[in-house]
C-alpha cells in the first residue's frame, strides 16, 4: 500500500529547502575572503625587471663595497699557527694577526662573522680578520697556499676575477695606482688549481678601476637570483573592488584597501586602470620592493617575518630559530587544500630539515623574496619556480611549509607591542633609491 504525501508535509519540506538556501546566502564567506575558495584573482601583468641602483648608493659602494675586513677560517689553531709561521711577514705583522685570531666556541663568536661568509665552514674552529695594512704585504706564494687551504680544506670557494694572462689582469687596475700599488696588485694574480685568478676581497677592491668596480656590480645585479619582475594589477569597470580588497589584504583588515581601490576607480571613472602590485600588498613589501640594502645583513627570513609587522619592521640578519619563534607567535598553518593568499609565509627546508629560505606569496605564481643577505640581493617579485630553482640548485630537493598570519586584531596587537630597533648599518638610501618600474606591456 503506497503512502500519500500530504500537502502539509510538502510545505514543511519546501520550508526546510528555503531555510537551507537562505542560510547559504546569509552565512557564505564574502567574495575574496579567506573562506571563499571560488574567487579568481585578478589579472596581473608581469615584465622581467632588473631593479635600478641609486647613483648615490653606487658611488658609495665604489668606495665602501665591503662591510668588514677579509676573513680567513681555520680547522685548528695549529693550522693557523703554521700559516703565520710560513707567511714571510715581519714579526710585528705576525703578532698582530695572532692577536686577532678568534675561536668559534659560541653563537656570539659566530655573530661577529660577516654575513657574506655564511654558511660558515662546518669544520671551522677559528677565524681571523685580515686588515688591508697586513693583507697587502702577503706574498704570491703565501696567498696561493692560504686560498687553496680555504677552498680544499675549509670548503670555502674563492670569489675571484679571472683572465687569460697576468697582463690581462692589469686592465682591471686603477690607472691612478702608484708603482708600489701596482706591485701589490701584481702579487695578487694567483694560480689556483691551474687557473689564473685575482681574489675579490676588500684589499683588491681598493686597487680596481672605477670601470671594473661598476662592471662587477652590474654582473651581480644581473644574476638570475637578483632579477625581479615589475607587476601591475588590472582593474576593469567589472572588477569587484571589495572582493579584490579582501583578497590582497590577506590576513589584514581589508577596509583601507577597499577604500583605496574605490578612490582609484572614482578617479578613472569607467576606464580600466592598472595598480602596481606592491601598492595592494603589505607595508614592508610596498616600501622595499626593487631596492637594495645599504649593507650586507638583512636576509630572507627577516624579509618574510617583516611582512606581517605592519610599519614596525626592522632590518637585520635573523636565523631560522628566531624565525620559527616568531612564526609560533603570529602564524597558523592553513587547512590542507586551502589556496595560497597574499602574505602567506613560504618556508623551505632541505633534506636535513634545515630552513634554507623564506619567501612571501604575492599572487598566483609569484612571490616576494630576498634571495640572500648580500647587499646585491634586492627585494623583488619573482616567479615561484625561478626562486625555488635558485635554492634547489644550492641545497637539493626542498619541502615547503605554508604559514598564514593570525586574525587582523591579533597581528595589530603584536605590531603595536614591538619596539623599533635601529639597524646595524646605515639604511638611509633604502627607499630613496626606489625608481618607477617600467610598465609591463599588454
- Is the residue at 16 inside a domain? no
- Is the residue at 173 inside a domain? yes
Domain final residue, candidates 188, 204, 221: 221
Beta-strand ranges (E) seen in 32-101 are 44-49, 70-74
Bond prior to 426 in cis (omega within 30° of 0)? no
Alpha helices in 209-357 (DSSP H): 210-221, 241-249, 255-268, 283-288, 300-306, 320-330
Domain final residue, candidates 189, 221, 253: 221
Q: For residues 328 and 186, state if they share a domain.
A: no
Is the predicted pLDDT of residue 4 greater than 80, yes or no? Answer: no
Give the pLDDT score at 46. 95
SS3 111: coil
- Is the residue at 200 inside a domain? yes
| Pairing of β 126-130 and β 70-74 | antiparallel
Report yes or no: 300 and 378 within 8 Å, Cβ to Cβ: no
Taking only the tens place, the pLDDT of each residue in 288-335 is: 999 988 788 888 999 998 888 887 787 878 888 888 988 888 888 988
Domain final residue, candidates 124, 157, 190: 157
Cα(39)–Cα(51) distance, rounded to whole angstroms? 32
Q: For residues 294 and 405, state if they share a domain.
A: yes
User: Which band of pLDDT confidence, cut at 50, 70 and 90, is reported for residue 242?
Assistant: very high
Is the predicted pLDDT of residue 436 greater than 50, yes or no? Answer: no
How far does CA 342 lie from the centroid of its chain?
17
Which positions ≥6 away from 51 have C-beta within 8 Å? 221, 226, 228, 290, 291, 292, 378, 380
Cα(281)–Cα(303) distance, rounded to whole angstroms? 14
Q: For residues 145 and 294, state if they share a domain.
A: no
Q: What is the grid cell recorded at 411? A: 597581528
Cα(381)–Cα(49) distance, rounded to whole angstroms? 9
Report yes or no: 387 and 365 within 8 Å, Cβ to Cβ: no
pLDDT (average), residues 139-156: 92
pLDDT (average), residues 230-236: 96
- The β-bridge partners of 273 are 235
Q: For residues 367 and 277, state if they share a domain.
A: yes
- Is the residue at 18 inside a domain? no
- Is the residue at 353 inside a domain? yes
Q: For residues 235 and 337, state if they share a domain.
A: yes
Distances (CA, A) of 57 to 12, 65, 288, 336, 375: 75, 10, 15, 45, 11
Report yes or no: 381 and 231 within 8 Å, Cβ to Cβ: yes
SS3 59: helix
Report yes or no: 243 and 30 within 8 Å, Cβ to Cβ: yes
Q: For residues 266 and 290, state if they share a domain.
A: yes
Flag whether the pTM goes above 0.75: yes
Q: For residues 315 and 401, state if they share a domain.
A: yes
Q: For residues 206 and 291, state if they share a domain.
A: no
- Is the residue at 428 inside a domain? no
Convert 392-406 to b/e letters by CB count within 10 Å (16 or more is b).
beebeebeeeebbbe
The values of phi and psi at residue 429, to 5°, are -85, -15
Q: For residues 186 and 285, state if they share a domain.
A: no
- Is the residue at 424 inside a domain? no
Say what percent of the chain tops pLDDT 90: 55
Q: For residues 56 and 193, state if they share a domain.
A: yes
Q: For residues 142 and 92, state if they share a domain.
A: yes
- Is the residue at 310 inside a domain? yes
Taking only the tens place, the pLDDT of each residue in 68-104 is: 889 999 999 999 999 999 999 999 999 999 999 999 8
Cα(256)–Cα(281) distance, rounded to whole angstroms? 12
Is the predicted pLDDT of residue 158 greater than 80, yes or no? Answer: yes
The values of phi and psi at residue 305, to 5°, are -70, -30
Q: For residues 328 and 350, state if they share a domain.
A: yes
Report yes or no: 375 and 294 within 8 Å, Cβ to Cβ: yes
The total number of structural domains that make up the chain = 3
- 10-19, 239-248, 338-347: which has the minimum mean pLDDT? 10-19
Q: Which domain holds residue 293?
A: 44-50+225-417
Amino acid at each position: 500500500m503506497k503512502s500519500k504525501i500530504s500537502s502539509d508535509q510538502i510545505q514543511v519540506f519546501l520550508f526546510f529547502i528555503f531555510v537551507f538556501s537562505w542560510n547559504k546566502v546569509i552565512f557564505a564567506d564574502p567574495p575574496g575572503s579567506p573562506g571563499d575558495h571560488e574567487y579568481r584573482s585578478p589579472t596581473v601583468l608581469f615584465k622581467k625587471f632588473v631593479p635600478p641602483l641609486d647613483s648615490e648608493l653606487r658611488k658609495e659602494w665604489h668606495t665602501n663595497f665591503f662591510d668588514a675586513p677579509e676573513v680567513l677560517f681555520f680547522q685548528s689553531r695549529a693550522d693557523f699557527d703554521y700559516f703565520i709561521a710560513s707567511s714571510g711577514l715581519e714579526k710585528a705583522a705576525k703578532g698582530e694577526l695572532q692577536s686577532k685570531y678568534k675561536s668559534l666556541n659560541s653563537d656570539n663568536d659566530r655573530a661577529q662573522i660577516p654575513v657574506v661568509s655564511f654558511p660558515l665552514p662546518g669544520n671551522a674552529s677559528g677565524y681571523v680578520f685580515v686588515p688591508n695594512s697586513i693583507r697587502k704585504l702577503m706574498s704570491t706564494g703565501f696567498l696561493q697556499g692560504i686560498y687553496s687551504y680555504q677552498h680544499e680544506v675549509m670548503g670555502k670557494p674563492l670569489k675571484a676575477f679571472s683572465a687569460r694572462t697576468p697582463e690581462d689582469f692589469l686592465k682591471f687596475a686603477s690607472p691612478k695606482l702608484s708603482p708600489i700599488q701596482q706591485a701589490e696588485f701584481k702579487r695578487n694574480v694567483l694560480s689556483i688549481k691551474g687557473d689564473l685568478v685575482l681574489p675579490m676581497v676588500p684589499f683588491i677592491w681598493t686597487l680596481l678601476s672605477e670601470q671594473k668596480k661598476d662592471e662587477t656590480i652590474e654582473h651581480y645585479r644581473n644574476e638570475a637570483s637578483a632579477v625581479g619582475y615589475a607587476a601591475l594589477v588590472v582593474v576593469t569597470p567589472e572588477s569587484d573592488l571589495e572582493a579584490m580588497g579582501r583578497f590582497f589584504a590577506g590576513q589584514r583588515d581589508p577596509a583601507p584597501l577597499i577604500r583605496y581601490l574605490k578612490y582609484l576607480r572614482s578617479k578613472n571613472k569607467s576606464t580600466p586602470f592598472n595598480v602596481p602590485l606592491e601598492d595592494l600588498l603589505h607595508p614592508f613589501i610596498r616600501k622595499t620592493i626593487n631596492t637594495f640594502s645599504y649593507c650586507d645583513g638583512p636576509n630572507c627570513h627577516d624579509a618574510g617575518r617583516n611582512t606581517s609587522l605592519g610599519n614596525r619592521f626592522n632590518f637585520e640578519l635573523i636565523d631560522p630559530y628566531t624565525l620559527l619563534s616568531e612564526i609560533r607567535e603570529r602564524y597558523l598553518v592553513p587547512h590542507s587544500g586551502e589556496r595560497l593568499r597574499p602574505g602567506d609565509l613560504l618556508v623551505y627546508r632541505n633534506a636535513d630539515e634545515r630552513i634554507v629560505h623564506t619567501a612571501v606569496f604575492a599572487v598566483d605564481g609569484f612571490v616576494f623574496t630576498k634571495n640572500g643577505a648580500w647587499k646585491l640581493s634586492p627585494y623583488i617579485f619573482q616567479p615561484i619556480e625561478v626562486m625555488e630553482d635558485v635554492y634547489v640548485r644550492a641545497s637539493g630537493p626542498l619541502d615547503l611549509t605554508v604559514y598564514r598570519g593570525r586574525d587582523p586584531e591579533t597581528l595589530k596587537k603584536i605590531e603595536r607591542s614591538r619596539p623599533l630597533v635601529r639597524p646595524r648599518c646605515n639604511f638611509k638610501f633604502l627607499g630613496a633609491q626606489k625608481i618607477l618600474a617600467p610598465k609591463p606591456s599588454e
